[in-house]
């Protein structure tokens, strides 16, 4: 189990592993869709060190503005 550095959900999944065994994994958070590689600097991978301006609150995600808005069916 991995904690998402950005929204701190604990549901992240491995989407790929390095072709060279054991170098790194790439993880994807299904809540905020953040992606990171385990070999990245800890300012990216560690929830405590992730820049506060870029943190995402999971409760805000459903309210994100639609760009573009979904048009009416005609």
Partner 1 sequence: MAYKDFRDFLHTLEKEGQLLTISDEVKPEPDLAAANRALNNLGDKTPALFFNNIYGYTNARIAMNVMGSWPNHALMMGMPKNTPLKEQFFEFARRYEQFPVPVKREETAPFHEVEITEDINLFDILPLFRLNQGDGGFYLDKAILVSRDLDDPDTYGKQNVGLYRMQVKGKNRLGIQPVPQHDIAIHIRQAEERGENLKVAIALGCEPVITTAASTPLLYDQSEYEMAGAIQGEPYRVVKAKDADLDLPWGAEVILEGEVLAGEREYEGPFGEFTGHYSGGRAMPVIQINRVYHRKQPIFEHLYIGMPWTETDYMIGVNTSVPLFQQLKDAFPNEIVAVNAMYTHGLVAIISTKTRYGGFAKAVGMRALTTPHGLGYCKLVIVVDEEVDPFNLPQVMWALSTKLHPKHDAVIVPGLSILPLDPGSDPAGMTHKMILDATTPVAPDIRGHYSQSLDSPLGVAEWEKKLSRMLR
Residue of the chain from 3, 16, 42, 49 that contacts partner 1 (CB under 8 A): 16
Min dist. Cβ of residue 19 to Zn ion (A): 26
What does 4 bind: Zn ion, partner 1, none (CB cut-off 5 to 8 Å by kind)? Zn ion
Q: How many CB atoms sit inside 10 A of residue 64's CB?
A: 8
How many residues interact with partner 1 (rule CB under 8 A)?
A: 36
Q: Which CB, 2 or 6, lies closer to partner 1?
A: 6
Q: Can you tell me which residue has the tokens 């390095």? A: 18
Output the CA–CA distances (angstroms, integers) from residue 66 to 7, 23, 32, 53, 62, in the order listed: 20, 38, 15, 21, 10
């Amino acid at each position: 189990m991995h904690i998402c550095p950005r929204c701190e959900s604990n549901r992240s999944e491995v989407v790929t592993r390095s072709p060279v065994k054991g170098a790194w994994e790439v993880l994807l958070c299904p809540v905020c869709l953040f992606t990171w590689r385990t070999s990245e600097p800890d300012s990216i991978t560690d929830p405590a060190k992730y820049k506060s301006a870029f943190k995402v609150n999971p409760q805000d995600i459903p309210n994100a503005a639609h760009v573009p808005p979904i048009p009416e069916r005609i």
